A and B are shown apart, each in its own frame.
Chain A
């Protein structure tokens, strides 16, 4: 049975597969395809914003063929926001008639006739980000029918106007669903036990919560939309008590708490015992509201069952992740219901808000990791503008800094971290930055969604030579399907593959195992000046970090010489040592090499 989502209240979760405790079980939902490589294609947003039209889209499809991008692996043409009517028509999605006069099926046919695939956009909230009141929430089955009738192969699904989180354009008070109340203490009674514990006797598990003035606050999942916090490690917190029960049986639990509707203090409470597959949920709903987050009240007695001996009692709220998972799952399940053989690729675009690296693999093929890479999108005649870095999410380096340490969340059996669409060809980035942008995305197995007006590209020009670099694309599309790992950073203290480093005055080295037994190594200068120091990495270091995912690490290690190919210049050379070094990388530049065993 699938999940039922509605606009009335967060989903009632009866199947544990939608629960936080299942996030690490490695199981994907029906209809989610394993084994897919990162998507490649073109998306209308960075190029044309809401101003995309059918005519522009057809022109992009024509350019795909003219430039031979289809032969290089680019296949999806995706309509982003701005293509629907502002309201549903007879309950259904409908094309905006001025910009898409012939309708979506005809456009899909045009694209399919060229051997390409057709993608569209929607949202798990009530409205799309640009405002149209046609979000999928509560309309999943109807919309799935439409998309399948239109021949959609790819769907990007956004998170604006979401009802159960304080997402973009949502009610800010939706934070009440995403955090548990402040908790001052508990009482457990029954079977001769009468226990009264203050919050300080509990253990704060995970990250984000704190004990303050005698109560615990911040129980929930913190917001990953902005670049402030590392994506590695715990993303949420629980307050856990160890309860020694005198006998198996039912007990009364009372909680002293105070509710709120703001980040850090909410109103939704989950009470559970045990963990993993043994988790029992006893309450999963709104708590009766208190006057304010500072006015503590006692709950009604909750009935819980405990086993004789030590029990783990968990007070938590994982609904921020669970609700969002349920909403994406509802759409996937609707596609399954309409056509169980559908192969629609689901691109999750909730901007990293609910830490989708934990759960996205269950339903989706990729998940955005941050808010947008640019807010200065283009229009017909205006290429828009991208940046290398900023204090918020715009910028190549900002997105890279987070994605580069997220390799353990990605893979062929999961899906891909998505640091957003490419900005190659937009104003604001020079050729060196564009080349490094492309090398980064290829090494990180990020989806390669072009975001420029392709009419500005001609075969053999600077832009073409970047987006059509077959050697770089081959890294991204390598059958082994492993995201590169950062094996060195000039600013890392001890764990370059785990440390979240936002200072761009540095150089990184990434290593990526490939299906033919070789390794790609990228030396990246993120700084705005030439990196005049030598950068080097030895074979042992590479194997220490990625050996477990290599085809044959022993053979690679034992080789007496290696063939090295520079994937930008195409030049080949021989390496007879165990140390690979480069020097003099220009500002924002990269050197990306493929290293193969020459002699064993």
Chain B
């Protein structure tokens, strides 16, 4: 099942790094509203309660959300709230040169990348070559947050 439209190909890097960062609470709030709209508040509260977030190592009060934490939260929403199963084959995510830098986060990153929920970053090398990175410690800039919800809708509806 593909949930990524043509213009949202996962391989297309996100060069919009100058947008506005968000706090963890802001993303949680956005996700909660979506869950409410989908009548999935109970699942959301179980997945995103303070204890659950703390267990994932996420500081819900972080003023600036890292891309890694965003990946964990979006993946959690995908699995536990939207009810979208993991992609089985994540090998295509190995184009991200830093995929394995965080060994406990590989599946979170791979799932959100392959679903097109968070786009990679492009690193230009001397000589013109380009590397694709996830940039886990980079600041998460939800330039196209509305797309996430649209994708979930499509995914949930098959």
Contact = CB atoms under 8 A, between A and B. Distances in A.
A82 B55 contact: yes
B56 A372 contact: no
Given A169-B102, A375-B107, A132 B86 contact: no
Interface string A210-247: 00000000000000001000000000000000000000
A51 B57 CA distance: 11
Contacts of B86: 376, 385
A376 to B, nearest CB: 5
A37 B103 CA distance: 28
Nearest to A393: B100
Contacts of B91: 390-391
A168 interface: yes
Interface in B89-108: 90-91, 94, 100-104, 106-107
A50 B55 contact: yes
A428 interface: yes
Contact of B94 (A96, A168, A392): A392
B9 interface: no
Identify whether the interface residues of B are mostly helix, strand, loop, or mixed: helix
Interface string A500-543: 00000000000000000000000000000000000000000000
B101 A385 contact: no
B55 A375 contact: no
A51 B55 contact: yes
A377 interface: yes
B20 interface: no
Contact of B56 (A50, A168, A391): A50
B14 interface: no
A388 to B, nearest CB: 12
B36 interface: no
B51 interface: yes
B88 A375 contact: no
Contact of A99 (B55, B102, B103, B104): B55
Contacts of B57: 50, 86, 130-132
A369 B77 CA distance: 34
B50 to A, nearest CB: 9
Nearest to B111: A376
A98 interface: yes
Interface residues of A, number: 29
A351 B103 CA distance: 10
B55 A376 contact: no
B132 interface: no
B90 to A, nearest CB: 7
Contact of A129 (B51, B55, B88, B103): B103
Contacts of B88: 385, 427-428
A143 interface: no
B107 A168 contact: no
Interface in A161-178: 168-169
A372 B101 CA distance: 12
Contacts of A376: 86, 90, 106-107
A136 interface: no
Interface residues of B, number: 18
Among B54, B94, B101, B104, max chain A CB count under 10 A is at B104
Identify whether the interface residues of A are mostly helix, strand, loop, or mixed: loop
Contacts of B90: 375-376
B110 interface: yes
Contacts of B51: 98
Contacts of A393: 100
Nearest to B137: A169
Contacts of A86: 54, 57
Interface string A45-80: 000001100000000000000000000000000000
A98 B102 contact: no
A375 B91 CA distance: 11
Interface string B71-85: 000000000000000
A347 interface: no
Given A385-B88, A427-B88, A375 B56 contact: no
Given A131-B57, A385-B86, A375 B103 contact: yes
Contacts of A82: 55
A411 B93 CA distance: 38
Contacts of A160: 103-104
Interface string B47-79: 000010011110000000000000000000000
A371 interface: yes
Nearest to B69: A131
A127 to B, nearest CB: 9
B100 to A, nearest CB: 6
A81 interface: yes
Interface in A81-97: 81-82, 86, 96
Contacts of B110: 375
Contacts of A372: 103, 106
The 8 closest A-B CB pairs, nearest first, are A131-B57, A375-B106, A98-B51, A129-B104, A376-B107, A375-B107, A130-B104, A130-B57
7 contacts: A50-B55, A129-B103, A375-B90, A376-B86, A390-B91, A392-B100, A428-B88
Interface of B: 51, 54-57, 86, 88, 90-91, 94, 100-104, 106-107, 110
Interface of A: 50-51, 81-82, 86, 96, 98-99, 129-132, 160, 168-169, 226, 351, 371-372, 375-377, 385, 390-393, 427-428
Given A129-B103, A351-B103, 17 more contacts: A50-B55, A50-B56, A50-B104, A82-B55, A86-B57, A96-B55, A99-B55, A131-B57, A168-B103, A169-B101, A371-B100, A371-B103, A375-B100, A376-B106, A385-B86, A390-B91, A428-B88
